[in-house]
Amino acid sequence: MKKTKQMFASVAAVSLGVLPAFAASNAVVLQQPHSNRDTTGTWGFSHEGVLGTSLDMAIHAPSRAVAAKAEAAALAEFDRQSRILSAWNAKSEFSRWQRTRGVPVKVSPELMNVLASFDAWRGETGGVLDASSAVAANVWNKAAATGTAPTQAQLSSAVAAMQQQHWALNRKEGTATRLSDAPLVLASFVKSSITSHAADAALRAGATGVMLNVGGDIVTRGALTQRVDIANPHADAENEAAIDTVVLRDAAIATSGSYRRGFDVAGQHYSHLIDPRTATPASGVISSSVIAANAETAGALATALSILSPRESQALMQRHPDAQYLLVTASGERIASNGWAALQEPVLKPAAYRVMAGSGMPAAAAASWNQSMELAVKLTLPRMDNPRYRRPYVAVWIEDGDKYPVRTVALWFKLARYLNDMKGWYADDRVRNLSEGTDISTTISSATRAPGTYTVVWDGKDNAGKLVKAGKYTVVVEAAREHGGHSLLRQEIDFNGKAQQFALPASDELGAVELDYRKH
């Protein structure tokens, strides 16, 4: 599930001073306290490989030592529950139980509760949430490999396999009996459950507030307020504007959608979300965001709403009046619950020029940059086998012919005092700062990123939002990592309205970088 972006602010008046500037990540931007003294504040932590994804954590606590203790408690709970419920760990209790057939097996309370809860949600959603959806996914994976769409017989066979009973529970005896041969996947459901328990563990360890963001699913507890940007599912760039921003406290949000992952069969893209009732990929809704009091409810409903039709979703949500939702359909229509507006962050809409009949165009619109074109910068942060891995600081910016930085397109960092590790960007921006007298690092920055591939877009505007003139500019991409290396790539491009592509070689801290000057 995924595509949410976010940043948080502590209710204890810890100022973030950072605005979001990306649209496809799920990281949290945290400004550390200005002092190293043990005083009340909010501390941020990032970890990779938690439940198979990235974890960003914010802890509000009376001291740094208590925050570290709460962090350790949350991580210990993630590890403990993973040993029980993980499907990707062949030695977990769930994996061992899944290999049994027809025999009552004594299971832990944690596994019993998850299986029982999944049963309840399967019934509540009319079979849309089904642990055996991997059966249909396997059919579509084979279709993608062969380039041939599944036959109706194959789909019907998958439906029959998914609709059978997969387990039987005996609460009194504490046993679970595996009944079917269908592969079972509880991944997103388990992730929500474990994250909730980890948040509770952090509070028990002394935190007064906690925020956990596990691969885009966010849980808040206690004295923390979380701002969450709902990414635009029709956009493919990290720095695209969000379609909405909501504010959370003591709540969870989950977003599910089909805009990134899926199957490509015979030139057509299909969602990775499968409707178990038909074994076909969902198509009507491309993004579903749900806010609820607990992560399990938010996660289950977000997945269901991405598969159901909008009408079916509205009927389901009438039975959950305390949960709020926002749907985005394939046609771009937004459908929100009545209570969604109460959670939205108020925003000011920018003023637009009104051109009167017979008058000239505004100066910006008359600039010579071709407004039908944009530059897409696609970069990869490689995954490194290093237990001390620190996410790199990354900057993407544009220099004019005089090497003056006209636009910082992306700036991903955690602590401002380490920005000078990006020697190229920092030196350029000091020159710009002296000339313009402004600090842009607090207005265009966003969080460091986990390993993966990301795209940012330059629309031909400078830092002040004015269109530049057409001509030659240099695109610069820089990455620097604590306990790691440093990479800086440069490519001159003539932005003359003619499409061009460039591939920059991989370096120490960056995978291959692709530049695509294209029509948008």
Task: Note the pLDDT of residue 385.
Answer: 65
For the CA atoms of 193, 75, 25, 390, what is the dihedral angle to 10 degrees?
A: -170
pLDDT digits (tens, 9 = 90+) for 44-72: 888 877 887 888 899 999 999 999 999 99
Same domain, 174 and 252: no
Which residue ranges of the chain lie beneath pLDDT 70?
1-40, 236, 258-260, 347-367, 384-389, 415, 417-418, 437-447, 482-484
CB contact at 8 A, 195 and 212: yes
What CATH code is carried by the domain that includes residue 424?
A: 2.60.40.4070
DSSP letter assigned to residue 344? B
- Residue 241 forms beta bridges with which residues? none
pLDDT at 445: 58
Alpha-carbon separation of residue 122 from 115, 126, 162, 189 (angstroms): 10, 6, 12, 11
The residue from 153, 185, 217 where one domain ends is: 185
Whether residues 116 and 20 share a domain: the answer is no
Give the CATH number of the domain where residue 126 resides.
1.10.3980.10
What global pTM score does this model have?
Answer: 0.73
**Cβ atoms < 10 Å from Cβ of 175:** 15
Helix H, strand E, coil C: the string for 232-287 is CCCCCCCCCCCCEEEEECCCEEEEEECCCCEEEECCEEEECCEECCCCEECCCEEE
Considering the domain architecture, whether residues 160 and 251 belong to the same structural domain is answered as: no
**Same domain flag for 171 and 197:** no
Please tell me whether residues 163 and 66 are part of one structural domain: no
Query: Which of 11, 23, 510 lies closest to 245, judged by CA?
Result: 23
Query: For residue 69, what is the domain's CATH number?
Result: 3.10.520.10
- Write down which residue in 163, 185, 207 finishes a domain: 185
Dig out the tokens for 119 from the structure. Answer: 């049963």
Quick one: 494 and 462 in the same domain? Answer: yes
Q: Are residues 325 and 418 in the same domain?
A: no
Q: What is the pLDDT of residue 110?
A: 95
343, 358, 381 — which closes off a domain?
A: 343
At residue 178, the pLDDT reads: 97
Mark whether 77 and 97 lie in a shared domain. no
Structural domain that includes position 440 = 373-519
Of 253, 440, 412, 434, nearest in space to 344 by CA: 253
How many residues make up the chain in this entry?
520
456: tokens are: 């940012």
| Structural domains of the chain, count | 3
Work out the number of other CB atoms within 10 angstroms of the CB of residue 374: 18
d(CA 5, CA 27) in angstroms, rounded, equals 6
Determine, yes or no, domain membership for 358: no
pLDDT of residue 443: 57
Number of H helices, E strands in the chain: 9, 27
C-alpha torsion 71→51→236→285, nearest 10: -110
Dist CA 212 CA 60 (whole Å): 12
Question: Do 18 and 121 sit in the same domain of this protein?
Answer: no
486 and 444 part of one domain: yes
Residues with Cβ within 8 Å of 316's Cβ and at least 6 positions away in sequence, in order, are 124, 125, 301, 304, 305, 308
Are 39 and 112 found together in one domain? no
pLDDT one-digit tens code per residue, 74-97? 999 999 999 999 888 889 999 999
